[in-house]
Copies of this chain bind each other. A is one copy, B any other.
Amino acid sequence: MKISKLTDSISLQRSVEQANVDHLTTVRQVIEDVQKNGDKALFAYTEKWDGAKLTSLKVTQNEIDEAFESFDGQLIQDLEEAATNIRAFHSKQSRQNIDFPLAKNSYIKYQITALDSVGLYVPGGTAAYPSSVLMNAIPALVAGVERVVIVSPPSKEGKLPASVLVAAKIAGVTEIYKVGGAQAIAALAYGTDSIPAVDKITGPGNSYVALAKREVFGKVAIDMIAGPSEIAVIADETAYADEVASDLLAQAEHDRFACSILITTSESLAEQVALEVEKQLKQLPREEIARASIENFGHIYVAESLEQAIDAVNELAPEHLEIITKNAEAVAEQVKHAGAIFIGRFSSEAVGDYFAGTNHVLPTNSTAKFSSGLCVDDFLKKTSVVYYSEEMWKEQYPKIARLARMEQLEGHARSVESRSWNKGDLN
């Protein structure tokens, strides 16, 4: 792993491939086809791309129950405990309406309501992470979304992974469809006979899925389109090199474009971590992926001071930040920008990825400067309500009319004045 002195210019930018133009053409055709031909198009694409010849898209209650009964009991218990933790923390994020009384029996209000329906995309194969099912579905359900739907591509045998069905059941989702790719996104956005449309689509997916989400954005809402994952670790001489190395590698094993950065005030830790990374890499099942990530995007920086390290992290605004130093909590308080912060050596990122209760869908690529991880807010919307009584109107309308005329919007001025036209002695 590369080691260098920390200078001013460090970055998370990775040269990720540009969107493939051929992919975009395909995606647009698929969306048009699903809009025109509905379920027929869904069955055809599922046969063509997933090799599954289906007669019905919806997963039956029977299939869900079977998956649950055949699944490892210990893992079910672990998933249930994780779900309980996630539900508990996200429930704290619920919002209250705001009532704001004005003079003369008037008021304004802020009405906070849940979206009606949300679709969650779950990738197929080895990327079907049950933890992501929990992290996406639970905030929507806590927000009060009445209809939460999962779509996921089936295997050749026409089945979804048991782990996905189990996680869905634990989260509380029972409307699940065997359809993936751009065709699933099109179905969620425009609706078919089998799959009524939803108002928002969340969840990760391959480049076809990401492109399709961009295409339907505006017709429905979408979550962020996340870039590859990343971690920054701030550590001083009190950190154990093997632990820091294992955390850097946990990030690197995600994919080749993942980015793991260590910023340390200890030159000796820097050297030991580099050795440990190499040692642990050789024993990692996903060595090839992790090695590519570490070689291309991994970096150890030696900082002159903790302050310099913190400044650099605030510039980076990393998705994940671990702080393994003396007085780690005090250091955390100086961090302004990060998706999630993990304090001390016993809070490795995996604690939050799976279990603590915080969300693992987080802003990547320095966007933590201005955006946040997935949360209950993402499934709520706010409507403002205005009520002016006659007395209030009488007092205020001349001001409103003057402001409208200042902007040369005479029609606006007349609309507030119209309440007195020919209606007796109102003004």
Using CB atoms and an 8 Å cutoff, list the residues of chain A in contact with chain B. 72, 74-75, 78-79, 81-82, 88-89, 92-93, 98, 100, 102, 108, 110-111, 113, 115-116, 126, 129-131, 163, 199-200, 218, 220-221, 240, 242-243, 246-247, 249-250, 252-254, 280, 284-286, 290, 329, 332, 335-359, 365, 367-373, 375, 377, 381-390, 392-393, 396-397, 399-404, 406-416, 418-419, 421-423
Contacts and interface: CB of A to CB of B under 8 A. Distances in A.
A163 B406 contact: yes
At the interface, is chain A mostly helix, strand, loop or mixed? mixed
Contacts of A369: 115-116, 199, 381
A403 B79 contact: yes
Contact of A419 (B346, B387, B390): B346
Contacts of A402: 74-75, 78
Given A353-B412, A385-B343, A98 B108 contact: no
B392 A108 contact: no
Contacts of A246: 411, 414-415, 418
A340 B386 contact: yes
A369 B383 CA distance: 10
B388 A351 contact: yes
14 contacts: A130-B407, A163-B406, A199-B370, A221-B370, A250-B409, A346-B389, A346-B393, A347-B387, A350-B416, A351-B397, A355-B396, A355-B403, A371-B381, A372-B382
B81 A351 contact: no
Contacts of A352: 384, 386
Assembly of this chain: how many copies?
A: 2
Contacts of A350: 400-401, 404, 412-413, 415-416
A194 to B, nearest CB: 21
Which 5 A-B pairs rank lowest in CB-CB distance, beginning with the nearest?
Answer: A346-B393, A358-B384, A253-B411, A246-B418, A221-B370
